[in-house]
Amino acid sequence: MTNVLAMDFGASSGRAIVGCYEDGKIQLDETHRFENGPIYFEDKLSWDVEKLFSEIKQGIKNSNQKYEITSLGIDTWGVDFGLIDEYGDLIGVPMHYRGVNTEKILKRISDFISLQDLYDSTGNQIMKINTLFQILSIREYYPDQYFKTRKILMISDLFNYMLTGKMAAERSIASTTQLTNPYSKDWSKKIVDNFNLNAQLLPEIVDEGNQLGSIRKNLNLGDIQVINVCQHDTASAVLSIPATSPFLFISCGTWSLVGTELNHPILNEKALKYNLTNESGFNKTTEFLKNCTGLWIVQELRRNYHEAGIDFSYEEITEMVKNTQDTVCVIDTDDDLFNEPGDMRQRIAQYAADSQQKVPTGPGEFFKCAYESLAQKYFETIKEIEDATGETYPEIHVVGGGSKSKYFCQLIANVTQKNVLAGPAEATAMGNVLMQLISLGEIKDVAEARKIVANSVTIESFAPLQKSKLVEE
């Protein structure tokens, strides 16, 4: 048996999950779970990196108590990063994408490059949270930090550096920055030059599967090899999808990544019009997708009620939604109104009133609005992807936390009028584990890895039962 450790960070929580590989199957065992909430540092919404690194160490310790761990891989969300100075120390605290101040920067992008040229050069969806815009914002508003910087490390690369003392940028996480070429998957000299950036700030890009080095001995965590997995959590999730033919995927967590896997980027007019992104997957494949708000609004609603003294489990929320027969308002889940933490009930009510829709009056209606609006966003995004690719896909693989809700999977099937295949729920951790096993020579390639997933987890199927009123409208 080979045991590897996946440190899987989402935007709201993290887990240490051991993957045990034996006889062609993988068994996952969660050994540590923790919250990943933002903090305020010098009045800026930020990531508590020191706390998160202590959670990594605790996850390793817990795992070592139960298993002999061969290797470790870290996957995280994209776009955010830390700044390293000439002494190898972290400058300040990494900013949180929900608190970035890039609006003025975005308005001046045309001084450097046209949006069409920016898209053609990077293939990335134009979003205010993108790393490029964050770096420009730091240069504008915090020049003392920017000019002290010697290396920029994405969050997962930063954690790897803290573990090993070695700096590198894994290709999939680098592709979320709007700083890489969509064809070569390397740093884009054109973007670096156009925006007058220092190319020396960007570390060497390495492929997934690269064995970065062992954990530093002074951490007293054992002789464990750190492997550059597909460090963008979406890339890890897609790697775990047990598909044998072209497919659509929805990786559903705090964010929803809706897309397909291609052998090449798509940079046509439709892709730009629909604001679709091209990111790197394993073996330099392209994940052609859109970043959409995911279960974030549901999570915030749940937090809002918790603060009011009412704790709803996800099972209770599902029952409430099922028992809410009235038609509810439909919101644009990607509207800036819903981007930052706050009272989602007030914001949904405001959106409904402004759009002359019925204002929800109770928790069942608020949660139903969130789920139905999210399914509608999936429907619209899938239509855009099919239009841009010229392909039609009969089924959708739903992975991540959202795949655990039978109600939500059936709703997606009804709204999209496509078959939904749900699972694995721990897709990012599974993909993380798979890449480590490929790197270690335990699994031959991705095709074999996906067969192993099919043997290791139960995939549930949902066929459309009825045409949704949302589609009819």
Phi, psi of 200 (to 5 degrees): -70, -15
C-alpha torsion 401→406→412→414, nearest 10 = 180
User: Tokens 């699994």 identify what position?
Assistant: 443
Torsion of CA 167, 194, 124, 348, to 10 degrees: 100
Half-sphere exposure of 237 (CA within 13 A, CB side): 34
The verdict on whether 233 is a catalytic residue reads: yes
Contact assessment for residue 435 and residue 208, using Cβ atoms and an 8 Å cutoff? yes
CA atoms within 13 A on the CB side of 338: 27
Phi–psi pair at 154, nearest 5 degrees:
-60, 160
For residue 83, which of 44, 45, 26, 131 has the smallest C-alpha distance? 131
- The catalytic position among 75, 157, 233, 334 is 233
Please give the radius of gyration of the chain, using alpha carbons only, rounded to the nearest integer: 22
Bond from prior residue into 246 cis (ω within 30 degrees of 0): no
Asked if 117 contacts 156 with a C-beta cutoff of 8 angstroms, the reply is no
Please give the Cα distance from 148 to 139 (Å, whole number).
Answer: 11
* Cβ proximity of 216 and 163 under 8 Å: yes
Q: For residue 389, what are the β-bridge partners?
A: none
Q: Which residues are catalytic?
A: 233
